[in-house]
Chains A and B, each alone.
Chain A
Amino acid sequence: MIEVEHLTKSYGQARAVNDISFEVNKGEILGFLGPNGAGKTTTMRVLTGYLPATSGTARIAGFDVFEQSMEVRKRIGYLPETPPLYPEMTVENYLTFVARIKGVTAGDIAKRLEEALRMANITDKRNELIKRLSRGYKQRVGIAQSIVHNPDVVILDEPTVGLDPNQIKEVRHLIKGLAGEHTIILSTHILTEVEMTCDRVVIINKGKIVAVDTTENLTQQLKGGERVQVQVKGPLETIRNVLDSIEGVRNIELDTLDSADVVGATIESEEGTDLRAQIASKIVGRGLDLLELRAIKLSLEDIFMQLTTEEKPVAEPGPSPAVKEAEPSTDESLSEVSPR
């Protein structure tokens, strides 16, 4: 549904997004995890057609986000970091307006309006002025706005930031409810959020993708386990057989690298085992060329820790309580995860 290839976005000399590639399948919820300033918002803005990419391509439902922007815009719903609301309008008038500019036909507007109100669970607030709503309800109106035209893809930029724990729970529940029908990308800097709502995760830092993984793998990683990454020259099937024959291997991921006959493999094993010697001897024993072998030490939590601690010096100069309030979740969310 969404294909991003070698996407780069520079602002002058600074590269906000640096050569990132990923895909999102239909009906999937993809989490975009990274500290503030990692390039999440920029990537989303490129996907929505708000910003043009410096190089690389992004396609949504087969349409290029820059060349066929109008086609893409019809198919996406977008909730920016601050919900784009008109405080002086009522919820119903606002959603009707959005439906109109999103190209919903006059006959369908009433139906779509009801649907969006129902899905965002704000039917009882339909006649209220938006400025009188609480933060949580405003966020829901923002989500309703992003689905009112029944788009294929919904892009949510930090949908739970600034909400209280109950509201966060509700919004996450709401997002899960959208999956299946819609393909969803959501960005966050909260690890738990990804775990609870997303099928797959892209971790991004300083404009580069650090890791792409399923949420199960991520959770598994957090529980421990060892990983070895190898690059082998040779036919894929043979390599698979060789690796399969090693004892203690829990999971193998193979993929062919740029040059056709080099295979990259990630081998997972039980916690506390070290298979490096075995892997090397088996591969070499079969007459294959071992090009690279290294243990991957960083768990995703480590990676995330690293990202967030790197972030800290940036936040330090202004130790105002407002900054802390704006991102209450990084430390909390980690402590939520780590006890296991």
Chain B
Amino acid sequence: MKGILAIYRREMSSYFVSPIAYIVIGFFLVVTGYFFSNILAILIERSFMAQMQAQRFGAPPEMDVPSMVIRNFIGVIATVMLFLIPMMTMGVYAEERKRGTMEMLMTSPISEIQIVIGKYLASLTLFILMLAPTLLYYLVMSRYSEPAMPWRIVWAGYLGIFLLGALLIAIGSFISALTESQIIAGVVTFVIFLLLWVIDLGARGASTTTGEIFKYLSVLQHYDSFSQGVIDTSSIIFYVSLSIFGIFLTLRTLDSMRWRRA
């Protein structure tokens, strides 16, 4: 436990003394902020149009603007994450290997699992710190929201995002453990995330059996139900088990470094 804490604290401090954390968080907030206001503006306009149509033709169609904002915005967050998480994870192990500090960690009286968990928790914390300020957007929105802000959907949606992020971080860390080059780790992670995205785009429209299989396998599909306010246990298990698998692979990779020519 002490080992995990020591690793965690060093990771966190190195995130924040280097510009990487500020760049990632700053970029994330600028982009998501822009999209949030955009989504809001578009949906408000649409709801006005809907209201006008309703006045003209009667039979008012219900339009739940807050829920739609949340759903769309969470989609935006998921997409932006695909670009930013590679930046967060690319150096996690690659940099340690390049500097030779990995050798020090691995000859210290801490186990590899402590190293891996400490680093994973630090990346998760940075991710949460990146995500947290966006909750302010809802706080502002809730003051003017009509119908009332559906907080349950917000929490469910963010749980989905968190689980997706946890998985992407596990994948990114694993790839970082495979190489000594941050750049290679970053690019490969990014390419893999893009592939996930493409698979997802392909799966969304599909209705055949193959499509259904892809739909199930697509990591980006599974947070979708969360953003509709449904906490789906099978999706939770899907994300958690895949994340654990990623962490396990990382662990095996570190272990295998001992058996290879360094």
Residues of A within 8 A of B (CB): 11, 45, 48-52, 70, 73-74, 76, 78, 80-89, 93, 97-98, 100-103, 145
> What B residues does A76 contact at CB under 8 A?
107
Q: How far is A100 from B6 in the complex, measured between Cα atoms in Å?
A: 6
User: Once the chains are docked, how many angstroms separate the CA of A73 from the CA of B115?
Assistant: 15
Contact count A vs B, C-beta below 8 Å: 72
User: Is B261's beta carbon under 8 Å from chain A?
Assistant: yes
Q: A86-B10, A89-B13, A97-B6 are in contact. Are A103 and B109 (CB under 8 A)?
A: yes
Does B45 interact with chain A (Cβ within 8 Å)? no
Which 9 pairs between the two chains have the least Cβ-Cβ distance? A84-B104, A100-B6, A73-B109, A84-B101, A48-B107, A101-B108, A74-B109, A11-B261, A82-B100
Classify the secondary structure of A's interface with B: loop
Which B residues from 222 to 262 make CB contacts under 8 A with A? 258-259, 261-262
Interchain nearest-CB distance for B8 vs A (Å) = 11
- Inter-subunit contact A50/B6 (CB<8 Å): no
Task: Tell me the complex Cα distance, A52–B107, Å.
Answer: 12
Whether B259 and A50, one on each chain, are in contact in the complex, defined by CB atoms closer than 8 angstroms, is no
Which B residues touch A88, using CB under 8 A? 14, 17-18
Closest to B18 in A: A88
Please, which residue of chain B has its CB at the minimum distance from the CB of A14?
Answer: B261
Given contacts A45-B103, A98-B104, A103-B109, 19 further A-B contacts (CB under 8 A): A11-B261, A50-B106, A51-B258, A51-B262, A70-B111, A78-B103, A78-B104, A84-B99, A84-B103, A85-B99, A86-B14, A88-B18, A89-B10, A89-B13, A89-B14, A89-B17, A93-B13, A101-B3, A103-B2
Task: Return chain A residues, CB-CB under 8 Å to B259.
Answer: 52
Count of residues in B whose CB is under 8 Å from the partner chain: 27
Q: A-contacting residues of B (Cβ < 8 Å)?
A: 2-3, 5-7, 9-10, 13-14, 17-18, 99-101, 103-111, 258-259, 261-262
Cβ contacts under 8 Å, B101 to chain A: 84-86
Contacts of B6 in A (CB 8 A): 97, 100-101
Which of chain B's residues has its CB closest to A77's CB? B107
Measured between beta carbons, the chain B residues less than 8 angstroms from A81 are: 100
Q: Which among A50, A73, A100, A103 is the interface contact of B103 at CB below 8 angstroms?
A: A50
Would A80 and B106 be within 8 Å (CB), given that A86-B10, A89-B13, A97-B10 are in contact?
no
**Which residues of A are found within 8 Å of B109, using beta-carbon distances?**
70, 73-74, 101-103
- Bound: A48/B103 CA distance, A: 10
Please give, as numbers and ranges, the residues of chain A lying within 8 Å of B7 by CB-CB distance.
Answer: 101
In Å, the complex CA distance between A100 and B2 comes to 8
| A102 touching B108 in the complex, CB below 8 Å, given contacts A89-B14, A97-B10 | yes
Residues B107 and A101 in contact, CB atoms below 8 Å apart: no
Chain B residues with Cβ below 8 Å from A48 are: 107
CA–CA, A103 to B108, complex, Å?
8
Interface pair B99/A86, CB less than 8 Å apart? yes
Contacts of A102 in B (CB 8 A): 108-109
Contact B100 A73 (CB under 8 A): no
Closest to B115 in A: A101
Alpha-carbon distance A50/B9, docked complex (angstroms): 24
Question: With the chains together, A87 CA to B81 CA distance in Å?
Answer: 28
CB pair B105 A101 closer than 8 Å: yes
How close is A280's CB to chain B, nearest CB, in angstroms? 48
- B18: A residues at CB distance < 8 A: 88
Contact (Cβ within 8 A) B108 A145: no
Closest B residue to A78 by beta carbon equals B107
A50 touches B110 (CB 8 A): no
